[in-house]
Amino acid sequence: MANINRSLGKSIFLDKFGDYPINRVLDFLVVFNAFDYSIVDIAKNSGVGYSTLKILMKELIKNKIVIKSRIVGKSKMFKLNNENPFMKRFIQFYWDITNEVSLSKNVHLKKIELTA
């Protein structure tokens, strides 16, 4: 899988809240939360350096934002902690912001089409 940010472009969340490593990681994990990922996969797909992600993961695990889901061979797999009330609210916030901005852009585009 190539870097998701390059393939899909910059997300609305990153555009509004800044293209920082922690935001990239959360962006990737929220959008692709159906699966669990190794640290290497998260680094590659979020566009964050491996060593930076190792530092971030310590804090994310400590704060129960990310949990270890299983071990595959020598790889530890991680995913968002969907049981954490804070993360439930964050995920809802993420999609609310994304939907609000995308809907406002679509309304704006439709207005332009009608006047043209």
- pLDDT 10s digit of each residue in the chain, 116 long? 445 555 567 889 999 999 999 999 999 999 999 999 999 999 999 999 999 999 999 999 999 999 999 999 999 999 999 999 999 999 999 999 988 887 777 645 444 444 44
The rounded Cα 94 to chain-centroid distance in angstroms is 9
Q: Which domains does the chain have, with CATH numbers?
A: 4-115 (1.10.10.10)
91, two tokens: 């995920």
9, two tokens: 């472009």
Q: Measuring CA to CA, which residue among 43, 40, 36, 95 is closest to residue 66?
A: 36
Specify whether the CB–CB gap between 80 and 87 falls below 8 A: yes
